[in-house]
Amino acid sequence: MAAIPPGDHKAYMRLALAQAHNSPPKPTNYRVGAVLVNSATNEILATGFTLELPGNTHAEQCCFMKLAERHGVPEENLRDVLPSELALYTTVEPCSKRLSGNLPCVERVRRLAGCIRTVYVGIMEPETFVAENTGKRSLEDAGINLVHVEGFEDEILKVATAGHVNG
């Protein structure tokens, strides 16, 4: 893969979308991709996609779980080992509620406030599984910017809903 120029948000969103394609289609989840980038060095620290790891995992969760394992720390202690200028690219807005009982992705991102400065999203979460997602407000309350990267909405929705009855 060719290097992505610093600040090329569309290229990073394309990489997140490529990750989403790796997720198995199911009627009960969105196929989402995520990429965590050190903004200071332009280094990709982790990628993830829905159901990449066992346990009904979401894309952002997979990024953080893989990083925690790489650094030998529990996920809740990741902020102790990560740089302070991170950007998270995710095809769909991080969830604010998990019906599975797992920690919502918004809470996982909020734990990294001060490290993650901006979350770039391709689309806001549709209300199919979680009505009234409060993720954007919750992230902004934690000092994390949420930025919509435009131009991918149709493709992201097509990938995200593959496997849905009317998707």
Instruction: List the structure tokens of 102.
Output: 């797992």
**Domain membership flag for residue 43:** yes
For the question of whether the overall pTM of this predicted structure is more than 0.85, the answer is: yes
Rounded to an integer, the average pLDDT of 63-74 is 97
In this model, does residue 81 exceed pLDDT 90? yes
Count structural domains, the chain.
1
For 108-130, the pLDDT digits (tens) are 999 999 999 999 999 986 655 45
Range of the domain at 79: 13-154
Q: Which residues fall within 8 angstroms of residue 58, CB to CB, at 6 or more apart? A: 32, 48, 50, 94, 95, 98, 102, 105
In this model, does residue 94 exceed pLDDT 50? yes
Per the CB < 8 A criterion, the answer to whether 148 and 124 are in contact is yes
**Domain membership flag for residue 159:** no
**Domain membership flag for residue 167:** no
Rounded to an integer, the average pLDDT of 88-106 is 89
Q: Which residues fall within 8 angstroms of residue 101, CB to CB, at 6 or more apart? A: none
Catalytic residue set: 60
Low-confidence winner among 21-30, 59-68, 121-130, 145-154 (lowest mean pLDDT) = 121-130
**Domain membership flag for residue 163:** no
**Domain membership flag for residue 74:** yes
At 43, which CATH number?
A: 3.40.140.10
